[in-house]
Amino acid sequence: MKIYITGYGLISSIGMNADESLVSLKNHSTGIEDARLETMKGYKVGAIHATNEELKEKFDIKTNCSRTALLGIIAAKQAFNGHPLSNEIRTGLISGTSVGGMDVSEVEYKNYLDGENHNPDNYKHHSSGVSSEQMAAEIGATDFVNTISTACSSAANALMMGARMINNGLLDRVVVGGTDALTKFTISGFKSLMIFDEEWCRPFDESRKGLNLGEGAGYVVLESEKSISLSKQKPVAMLSGWSNASDSFHQTASSQDGHGAQLSMQEALNVAGLKPEDIDYINAHGTATPNNDLSESQAIKKIFKSRIPPFSSTKAYTGHTLAASGGIEAVFAILAIQNGYIYPNLNFRNAIEETGLIPQLKFSENNKVKHVLSNSFGFGGNNSTVIISAV
Amino acid sequence: MSDLRETLKEQIIEQLNLEDLTPADITNEGPLFGDDGLGLDSIDALEFIVLLESNYNIKIADPSEGKEIFHSVDSLAAYIEKNQ
Amino acid sequence: MKLVASCKISNQGVFLNSKLVPNTKSTETNWKKELYTKTGVTYPKFYKMDALAKLAFLSYSYLDKALKTESYADNDIALLFANAASSKTTDLKYIESYKEKGSPSPSLFVYTLPNILTGELSILNKWYGENVFFIEEKFDPEFYLEQINFYFSKGAKGVLAGWVESNDTNEECFLFFVENNGNELTIEELTNLYKS
């Protein structure tokens, strides 16, 4: 069964919607800069420069929610804009998140530990599932709501799960993707693992030191053929391949040879019925950690051999948005296909010695982009790949 | 001397969140890292760096030095005694 | 699908295929450590795991006695897990590490994701198949059976599924292993298995 994509929405440090994001992408304009918020001072992050109140006003959202839920609502609403609700179209929402409502909880808990007044009611935002429920309620996609928590592969897994539910006749239409807000929790955590870069991250560069965190949300609408005949929405792309595999090496590090990454890329190609040479662009996971980029490069070489397509990591633009990354990057893939774009890998100077791979260096137009492969690899060795194709 | 080793064992358990271990479960000379030891890895090595700094005011700038220093309770104790 | 074996653990004991394994009930707060010494398995990495990973590891150690996973290729087995509280227990410990102790703990941070436990099981067994972790309000047998069927339709030969919870009031792990052949495991049967 064909899985059509009929809508997309995203928000990140490079734009509050697709159009704004494209301007940044074209101009090589990163959203990563020195954190402005006191709680994050000293780090370079891809933050969305608006308070929750400002975002709620701008996007006319009244729900009392965490920042993670708010970003998700903004992106999901964009994706679902103009889609009619109908009793005949079973519509669900599957969302990936790693921090859930932690942005609220960590403030409340701090107040609690400091002996100040705190409102226990606010902990109701904490659960990862709550953000999904709120998003689903906001857009009316309530026939099935689920939440995936597999770290940085969560959104990609949501896309995969959505495709399977449609293929198996359990849903006709589903909004899928991920959302994560910046929190002190995650910033301090990645700092403790010593995988930050104090400077702008350099994916796939020999001198790369680590990642910059970001926040955002990205969602797409998947529909079956039956759903489209009823909703009358125009497909913008297809979700043609998906896969998940276990790297089975370490809780947070990737195996040297990228075994799990190889498995997930190969299986996604199998699902799509494509050969490696059919891929026109790879949007890599490319977090700029010494470990991931080497591991992922080895896996890319194994799969694509001497015919490696243009590839880049867009995380030097947005920062690593954790559970949202697979959703945001799915939208980038759709835009690449629609417009013939290939995005550059910012901050690159020298290839990794062991691999010699050189990513796309400049934003490029007028390309034939029919199939895009997008990787999202999460802690726990959870490796996922999706393939998005032209209609 | 043996006090330092016992204290270290308690600190290791606390710092690395090995709440189900007691000092009696950790030998002085046995390897702490790898499958022959307590199964500790590079992430846990980061904890040792914090442990040395907060409890003994010893800074290790280069994590890769850690492998030898953190090999066992004995080697850790020896390093602390040398650098205090 | 055919149910091969199930195992449920909590401080009430280990129930392997619904039968209580003798001497596994414990009122101690370190009941998980006690259970580890009783499994007969030596796996030092157990000690640094968080509550969720320990629960999954212990439950699997007992379940393994009733399984023949060597007959599967390394990506034949899929992992399907869920809970309601995500990694809450560890999340709070982690926050305390930087709030109270002044320095965020990397070894705790590693476990502030519920799906690390699927990573631990994969590493233990060298499994390379699919794995996922969902956040659900409660154990929902229908949902599990649906998802398991997806894996089977994709080519998985076996699925290790589990509900692993650690929160303020309760710690438990319910694991079951199913194969893609034979009698249909029903929602009712699975519900009863979980409750027993």
Q: Which of A295, A337, A327 is nearest to A93 (CA)?
A: A327
Cβ-Cβ contacts under 8 Å between A and C: the total is 142
d(CA A124, nearest CA chain B) in Å: 28
Q: Which of C41, C32, C53, C43 is nearest to C133 (CA)?
A: C53
d(CA C150, nearest CA chain B) in Å: 35
Cα Rg of chain C, angstroms:
16
Enumerate neighbours of A (3 or more CB pairs within 8 A): B, C
Mutation for testing the C interface, residue in A248, A259, A263 having most C CBs under 10 Å: A248
- How many angstroms separate the CA atoms of A153 and A379, rounded? 8
pTM: 0.92
Tokens coding A365: 């137009």
Q: Which whole-number Å values give the CA distances from C88 to A35, A142, A189, B66, C171, in the listed order?
A: 27, 26, 15, 31, 12
CATH of region C2-86+114-195: 3.40.47.10
Assess C81–B contact: CB distance below 8 Å, yes or no: no
Assess C93–B contact: CB distance below 8 Å, yes or no: yes
Per-residue pLDDT of chain A (391 residues; tens, 9 = 90+): 899 999 999 999 999 999 999 999 999 999 999 999 988 899 999 999 999 999 999 999 999 999 999 999 999 999 999 999 999 999 999 999 999 998 888 888 888 888 888 888 888 888 889 999 999 999 999 999 999 999 999 999 999 999 999 999 999 999 999 999 999 999 999 998 989 999 999 999 999 999 999 999 999 999 999 999 999 999 999 999 999 999 998 888 899 899 999 999 999 999 999 999 999 999 999 999 999 999 999 999 999 999 999 999 999 999 999 999 999 999 999 999 999 999 999 999 999 999 999 999 999 999 999 999 999 999 988 999 999 999 9
The 10 Å Cβ neighbour count of residue C191 is 14
Q: Which residues of A are catalytic?
A: 152, 285, 320
- How many angstroms separate the CA atoms of C184 and A338, rounded? 45
The 10 Å Cβ neighbour count of residue A202 is 23
CATH of region B2-83: 1.10.1200.10
Q: Structural domains in chain A?
A: 4-231 (3.40.47.10), 240-389 (3.40.47.10)
Contact between C8 and C164 under an 8 Å Cβ cutoff? The reply is no
Domains in chain B: boundaries: 2-83
Assess B22–C contact: CB distance below 8 Å, yes or no: no
ipTM of the complex: 0.87
Residue A211 makes CB contacts below 8 A (sequence gap 6+) with A190, A195, A196, A197, A201, A287, A288, A289, A315, A319, A320
C75:A263 CB<8 A: yes
Which among A161, A191, A379 is the nearest to C104, CB-wise? A191
Compute the 3-state secondary structure of chain A and give helix, strand, coil in percent, each to the nearest 5: 40, 20, 40
Assess A245–C contact: CB distance below 8 Å, yes or no: yes
Compute the 3-state secondary structure of chain B and give helix, strand, coil in percent, each to the nearest 5: 60, 0, 40
d(CA A200, nearest CA chain B) in Å: 22
